[in-house]
Amino acid sequence: MARSRSSFYSAIEYIGPRPRKPKKSSFFGGWVIVVIALAAGVFFAKPWAGNLMAAQNGPTNEQSNILINLLERSELRGERLAAEALKYFGREITYDPAYFSINYPNGDVPSNKGVAADLVVRCYREIGHDLQELIHEDMSLNFRLYPQLWQSSQPDKNIDHRRVQNLQRFFSRKGRVLTTSRDAADYQVGDIVVWALSNADTHLGIVVPGPEGSGDTPWVVHHPAGGGVKWESALFDYQILGHFSYPVGSE
């Protein structure tokens, strides 16, 4: 007896994916992942955020004071020089290249005025080296070895030590001449750097540590034209003409 058409189709069973039981939502699973992600983000972003804030807002007096207290306890000449440089950060000092008649030795222009060279001279005096006297004595004996740029016929103890080119020549004669590479590892705290600016002027500053979290590149303290004394990551912002350590030796 033939099987009817309807009975044939009625024997076919539905074959498909097996229904799954709905899973219970885990309250802790999702939140744990979120918390871990946030914690990792904070951990890795904190140094970057700190550098960004420092770049936008600049370092603080509190940060400089922390470094000053640390550097002042050092027996190394370079670190003591850096401490003196950091003390000028934040002071109200007007950039003023005017000629002043000053005492000799240990003469200085008014304390609320100065240029880049005055900053360096003041810092060296604090560690026992009067560049006004040292440069005047050397120029008195070797005047023609110094740059002849100011139509001077003889040394002038009022202004010679306030000129970057004279400081550069003195450091090259009496100090240690170092590399002018762009490798941060070649620059030590307390080194002197001379730059060429875009307007053809020369400029100089003192290599110092950066604030905590600023990375491995040394910072500088310097007094640029038109502003006050700055503590910033500007070591490689200009062409480096000279790099010196003075006096020779670390003590």
158-174: pLDDT as tens digits: 999 999 999 999 999 99
Report the pLDDT value the prediction gives residue 10, as an integer from 0 to 100: 47
What element of type H or E holds 17?
none
Taking a C-beta distance cutoff of 8 angstroms, is the pair 123, 80 a contact?
no
The per-residue pLDDT for 101 is 98
User: Is residue 71 domain-resident?
Assistant: yes
What's the pLDDT score for residue 34? 43
- Would residue 8 count as lying in a domain? no
Q: Is residue 172 part of a domain?
A: yes
Spatial separation of the C-alpha atoms in residues 127 and 85, rounded to whole Å? 11
Q: Is residue 39, in this structure, part of any structural domain at all?
A: no
On whether residue 202 sits in a domain, the answer given is: yes
Check: CB of residue 193 under 8 Å from CB of residue 220: yes
Beta bridge partners of 208: 219
* Amino acid letter, 191: D
More confident residue, 232 or 58: 232
In a domain, 185, yes or no: yes
What domain range includes position 70?
A: 49-245
- The answer to whether residues 214 and 57 touch, using CB atoms and an 8 Å cutoff, is no
Q: How many domains does the chain have?
A: 1
Both structure tokens of 235: 């070591």
* Tokens linked to 245: 């350590």
Q: Which amino acid is at 59?
A: P
Is 5 inside any structural domain?
Answer: no
Which residues, in sequence order, are bridge partners of residue 194?
204, 242
Q: Answer whether residue 200 is part of any domain.
A: yes
Token pair for 109: 């222009």
* Residue owning tokens 């100090």: 175
Q: How many Å apart are CA 218 and CA 30, to the nearest integer?
A: 44
In this prediction, residue 9 has a pLDDT band, given cuts at 50, 70 and 90, of very low
- Tell me what pLDDT residue 56 has: 53
| SS3 label, residue 85 | helix
Cut 0.75: pTM above it = yes
pLDDT tens digit string along 198-220? 999 999 999 999 998 888 899 99
Res. 35: pLDDT tops 60: no
- Asked if 121 and 106 touch (Cβ cutoff 8 Å), the reply is no
Q: pLDDT band for 20, please (50, 70, 90 cuts).
A: low
